[in-house]
Structure 1
């Protein structure tokens, strides 16, 4: 028996009850619309305001683009499943979904790590900021984040679909999730699970330690500032990033590192919503509300749009 024994998978979704399916569709449509529109709004705002053409907003645009891609990988398919009650997803479609989810999750983490370094340079070495965070370095680090994320996605996807899938093809999730696919495999997945865990820990530990050390230096420098106003201003530039990073880490840890006592199909579904839907929706809102320049840029574009309509 090999992989060819299964040519398609079934996504279990949230419920077989038609009313619950409609409710799921409406909730996911609302979340998807907010997530896409808010992130696109940030991208347009930064693009149309020359005073926002700085390294911090360059990485923010990359994060917003990643969020749009991330939420678009799982939510539209889940909405279509609820609306049509067609739970089938092809083998190739499942492979693609796994690759994209891993790639965009990794890219989010990588970009948040780079953004922590950007804040470190801006606060700890303000006079050399433009020299260190040059245009070439920004492009190179962003490109490296996307490239390494893609390679990580290829590696994780290859490892997952090297497993054999025989009879059971029902995925207890609303998208193709690696842990759920491991449960379906008719071969021993112990070594596979350990390898994926080690790869994830290496990547996550590096990013987490890098961010932790960066903010250690940042807080140390900020506390040395004598002016309360300047200290508050320095902290305010870090608050959105710290909030977004905390949200990302909290939802991911709850999804993959929660105790077995909390493991159940319902909790698995809800935890998946936390780390696939919530961050892309809340990230642009957090940055908009906590960043005065973004808010001013959005308001300026809104006024221009209203004037154009009028």
Structure 2
């Protein structure tokens, strides 16, 4: 195997939550495999992980010279919006497009336009799930694509951590940027019903976003301050302790392709209770690590929380087994295989 130099590309770094985690994990894992890995962006609002190169990109230079001006063997963009600059001129090296998601109509239209114009200049597309592949095909037509699920650092997220944030039983956890389509309010609104059977139940919501204030208002209006905690954005060290402190990971989201927190939770041995979204069901079917509940149905949500809690040992064992098959090293070796192929 020939060691390669790889440039991960986003418009702005850090990118959105899941993108950044995947990119950082890839850079660390590829470096451990002996490759040179760097992060390129038009602007940086934070620093890459220790030991990972930072490359400030110039839009005009890319439009004039293309990727030939980038001294890397492989260019690995993670957003459709950067394709215009990378592929305006015909590339002289492999372009591996990593398709994570399009969370709104603007992103979907951008995906359609960029792929319609530039798809033939992309060497290979990596989709983070079968749902992502279906979505890409719907908007861009047939592509030279493969599915590689996100990986998780099982040396960092694991079941032998302390649980300093345990505040209830069952303890529920949701981790995400707080946007409307995440439907976090449905988790909060289900708490009064859940508390009838589990008076000590507690929900922790990790993350920030445009819905933060609205969600706080719902909590206050329902007098759930003792049973629902909103932490805001936290660092990774605290995050893994939050996973360790919960009994299960929950999500009512309506739009995901391969949510990173589900993998981090499973690596900590935590079962899942997820809305019956295509990508959620894909994870549940593959892992056997939890149950799905019907959209906008608090009774079904509470029922599935109850069933998973009662059988949490079996679900936990399945979660750990699945996470091990997607640990960081295996994930990066799958990406490396794509690099070798092209």
TM-score (norm 2): 0.23
Between structures 1 and 2, the one with greater strand share: 2
Between structures 1 and 2, the one with greater helix share: 1
Between 1 and 2, higher relative CO (CA 8 Å, sep ≥ 6) is seen in 1
